[in-house]
């Protein structure tokens, strides 16, 4: 029985939905014809009919009327919309038309009001969810009491939760400022706005009209306080997230240096250029994919990662074998020589690719953002944080568990003994340096997603990277991790007070002062290894 009733209802609804558009289409055409009589009362009738017709062209027509772009001809009776480029389109169909001597549909003030109301209502009821949302937000800002009936209809009809919330909030805003609304309604409105809990809600609640009931006022005050503390909490969380994201960028840039400088004691001023090489590898990979097989674009970073590791790693090995191995034990001279190498690499890239920024695209899975409460998190930052931690853990595991890691640690701890145990120290040196450079290369792949890929890319990270390693303590990867995140988070929390540049200066000064206290960094090596 219920089943049949259900079917019957379904058929009835179907019939209704099929018949209604036809009836409305006739309404729409008839209403358009009313514009051609050139009388204000007919025009008003037309506006109301069109606004309720549900025709997809209704919004365009009313909008044109409001802008003074609606024209009509009497012979034949037809209505036209003038588009932005001065051409005409048929109002009923939207197709291009060339009317003979069109006259504008005139408006007076009374008409203008009903046009405005019709337009607001139309977008609130628009079939496009985004348009409804926009309309709700604009009502929220304008707090126009005239929109209240349409709002109620729209809320009743709405199925999209997000739009429904926006509509309810818009209604609350209207009610709160409507003088003749009941006290309970207003209290409900305060509760809705309190739940919204953002800056705009706070502004509304703290600018209540003077004649609001006392109950409403106290409720609003407590709501404002609640919103404020909530906002402060989210702002802190957002800052912390920015800090973590900046910290992971610093860690990425510094982690390779932590190996070459921290573990091997080589001041590699060309480290930034290894990062740059990684970024350019990404660029080249994407260029090839663009021309050969655009479908692979989403995998471009995955392809670039091993390539960047190899390119930067091989260049690093070449540098170690060619220059650095002659300079062990003379750190200041490795500094000068690698600075020279960094100049050569920069110029080489500039000669090959030009001095301008290269465009590196984001794959689709790295674009966009999502929201958690009051937090906005972009996917590319999130991926970089995850990637950084993965690289860090991978590196730790490699040094701890692999044969080559064991040999690397042996050589850095006691070169002579390692050599007498049969480890080929020269080879290990080259591989360690190659590893540090390779990691810089894959850092470049990640950084190409958030920074300009230009020959100067490396220079912008080199000082920060050294600061991280020195701050964290040389010879200790955990120190680099803590150092990077401390500096990143400190930087982001200083920024609101001091501005970006002064914040950075403050961080540099703080590090200089910190080094006074702990000359060998946060996690200093102790014992005999210190002087070595």
Binding site for other proteins (CB under 8 A): 267, 269, 323, 326-327, 331-333, 335-337, 339-344, 346-348, 350-351, 459, 463, 466-467, 470, 501-502, 504-505, 508-509, 511-513, 515-517, 519-520
- Looking at the Cβ atoms of 118 and 319, the one nearer to other proteins is 319
User: In angstroms, what is the minimal distance from the CB of 254 to other proteins?
Assistant: 12
Query: Using CA atoms, how far apart are residues 89 and 81, in angstroms rounded to an integer?
Result: 5
**Radius of gyration over alpha carbons of the chain, in Å?**
34
Cβ proximity to other proteins, 1 vs 501, nearer residue = 501
For the CB of residue 356, give the shortest distance to other proteins in the complex, in Å: 15
Tell me: cis bond preceding 373? Omega within 30 of 0 counts: no
* Closer to other proteins by Cβ: residue 18 or 513: 513
Q: How far is the CB of 506 from other proteins (least distance, A)?
A: 9
Cβ closest to other proteins, residue 16 vs residue 332: 332
Reduced to 3 states, what is the DSSP secondary structure of residue 369?
strand
> Which residue number, 89 or 341, has a Cβ lying nearer to other proteins?
341
Q: CB count, 10 Å around CB of 25?
A: 14
Residues 6 or more apart in contact with residue 256 via CB below 8 angstroms? 271, 274, 275, 435, 436, 437, 438, 439, 440, 443
Nearer to other proteins, 54 or 265 (CB): 265
Contact 129, 163 (CB under 8 A): yes
Q: What would the two tokens of residue 473 be?
A: 């303590």
Beta carbon nearer to other proteins, 369 or 509 = 509
Count of residues for the chain?
A: 532
Min. distance of Cβ 338 from other proteins in angstroms? 9
CB of 413 to other proteins, least distance (A): 20
Minimum Å gap between C-beta 325 and other proteins is 10
Task: State CA 453 to chain mean position distance.
Answer: 19
**Which backbone phi and psi does 451 adopt, to 5 degrees?**
-130, 165
| Tokens encoding 428 | 């290990």
CB-wise, 15 or 509, nearer to other proteins?
Answer: 509
Q: Which is nearer to other proteins, 369 or 512 (CB)?
A: 512
d(CA 374, CA 235): 8
Min. distance of Cβ 519 from other proteins in angstroms? Answer: 5
Burial grade of 440 (CB within 10 A; 0-12, 13-18, 19 or more): buried
Identify which of 299, 254, 154, 214 has the alpha carbon closest to the alpha carbon of residue 462: 254
Q: 11 vs 336, which CB is nearer to other proteins?
A: 336
Give the pair of three-digit tokens for residue 86: 């001065």
Give dist(CA 412, CA 403) in Å, integer.
Answer: 14
Quote the CA–CA distance of 445 and 277 in Å, as a whole number.
Answer: 9
Smallest gap from Cβ 284 to other proteins, in A, equals 21
From residue 9, alpha-carbon distances to 18, 55, 159, 304, 306 in Å are 14, 25, 20, 59, 62
Please state, in angstroms and rounded to a whole number, the distance separating the CA atoms of residues 301 and 470.
Answer: 31
Q: Which helix (H) or strand (E) covers residue 337, if one does?
A: helix 331-353
Element (DSSP H or E) covering residue 371: strand 369-372
Q: Which is nearer to other proteins, 395 or 470 (CB)?
A: 470
CB of residue 440 to other proteins, shortest distance in Å:
17
Rounded to the nearest whole angstrom, what is the least distance from the CB of residue 337 to other proteins in the complex? 4
Tokens representing 301 are: 């970073």
Of 480, 463, 485, 464, nearest to 522 (Cα)? 480
Nearer to other proteins, 322 or 373 (CB): 322
Q: Identify the bridge partners of residue 375 per DSSP, sorted by sequence position.
A: 372
Q: Which two tokens stand for residue 521?
A: 């960094």
Q: Nearest distance from residue 343's CB to other proteins, in Å?
A: 3
Q: How far is the CB of 330 from other proteins (least distance, A)?
A: 8
Q: Residue 228 or 333: which CB sits closer to other proteins? A: 333
Q: How near is the Cβ of 479 to other proteins at its closest, in Å?
A: 14
Choose between 299 and 326: whose C-beta lies nearer to other proteins: 326
Report CA 306 to chain centroid distance, whole Å.
27
Q: What is the rounded CA–CA span in Å between residue 49 and residue 57?
A: 13
Taking each helix axis from N to C terminus, what angle separates 214-257 and 425-447, rounded to the nearest 10 degrees? 150
Least CB distance to other proteins at residue 239 (A): 21
Q: What is the layout of strands, in order, in the sheet containing 88-90? A: 96-97, 88-90, 78-82, 70-73, 103-104
């Amino acid at each position: 029985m219920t089943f049949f009733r259900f079917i019957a209802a379904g058929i009835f609804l179907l019939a209704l939905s099929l018949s209604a558009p036809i009836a409305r289409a006739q309404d729409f055409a008839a209403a358009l014809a009313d514009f051609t009589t050139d009388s204000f009362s007919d025009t008003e009738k037309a506006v109301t009919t069109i606004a309720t017709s549900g025709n997809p062209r209704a919004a365009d027509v009313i909008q044109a009327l409001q802008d003074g772009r609606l024209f009509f001809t009497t012979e034949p009776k037809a209505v036209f919309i003038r588009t932005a480029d001065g051409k005409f389109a048929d109002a009923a169909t939207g197709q291009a038309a060339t009317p003979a001597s069109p006259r504008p549909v005139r408006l007076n003030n009374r008409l203008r009001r009903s046009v405005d109301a019709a337009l607001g209502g139309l977008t609130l009821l628009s079939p496009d969810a985004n348009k409804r949302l926009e309309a709700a937000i604009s009502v929220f800002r304008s707090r126009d009491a005239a929109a209240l009936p349409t709002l109620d209809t729209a809320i009743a009809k709405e199925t999209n939760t997000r739009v429904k919330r926006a509509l309810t909030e818009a209604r609350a805003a209207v009610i709160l400022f409507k003088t003749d609304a009941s006290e309970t309604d207003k209290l409900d409105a305060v509760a809705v706005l309190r739940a919204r809990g953002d800056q705009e809600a706070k502004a509304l609640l703290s600018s209540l009209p003077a004649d609001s009931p006392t109950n409403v006022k106290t409720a609003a005050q407590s709501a404002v306080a609640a919103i404020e503390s909530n906002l402060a909490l989210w702002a802190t969380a957002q800052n912390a997230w920015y800090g973590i994201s900046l910290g992971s960028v610093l860690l990425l840039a510094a982690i390779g240096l932590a190996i070459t400088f921290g573990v091997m004691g080589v001041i590699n001023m060309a480290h930034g250029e290894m990062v740059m090489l990684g970024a350019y590898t990404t660029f080249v990979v994407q260029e090839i994919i663009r021309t050969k097989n655009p479908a692979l674009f989403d995998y471009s970073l995955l392809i670039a990662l091993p390539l960047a590791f190899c390119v930067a790693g091989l260049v690093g090995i070449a540098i170690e074998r060619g220059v650095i191995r002659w300079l062990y034990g003379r750190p200041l001279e490795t500094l000068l020589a690698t600075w020279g190498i960094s100049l050569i690499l920069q110029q080489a890239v500039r000669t090959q690719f030009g001095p301008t920024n290269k465009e590196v695209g984001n794959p689709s899975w790295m674009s966009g953002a999502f929201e958690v409460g009051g937090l906005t998190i972009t996917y590319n930052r999130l991926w970089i944080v995850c990637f950084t931690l993965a690289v860090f853990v991978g590196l730790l595991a490699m040094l701890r568990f692999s044969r080559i890691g064991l040999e690397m640690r042996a050589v850095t701890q006691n070169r002579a003994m390692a050599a007498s145990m049969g480890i080929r120290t020269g080879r290990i040196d080259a591989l360690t340096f190659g590893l540090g450079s390779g990691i810089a290369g894959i850092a470049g792949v990640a950084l190409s997603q958030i920074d300009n890929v230009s020959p100067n890319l490396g220079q912008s990270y080199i000082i920060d990277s050294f600061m991280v390693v020195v701050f964290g303590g040389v010879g200790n990867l955990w120190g680099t991790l803590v150092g990077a995140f401390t500096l990143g988070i400190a930087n982001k929390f200083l920024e609101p007070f001091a501005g970006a540049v002064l914040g950075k200066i403050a961080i540099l000064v703080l590090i200089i002062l910190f080094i006074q206290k702990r000359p060998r960094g946060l996690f200093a090596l102790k014992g005999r290894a210190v002087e070595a």
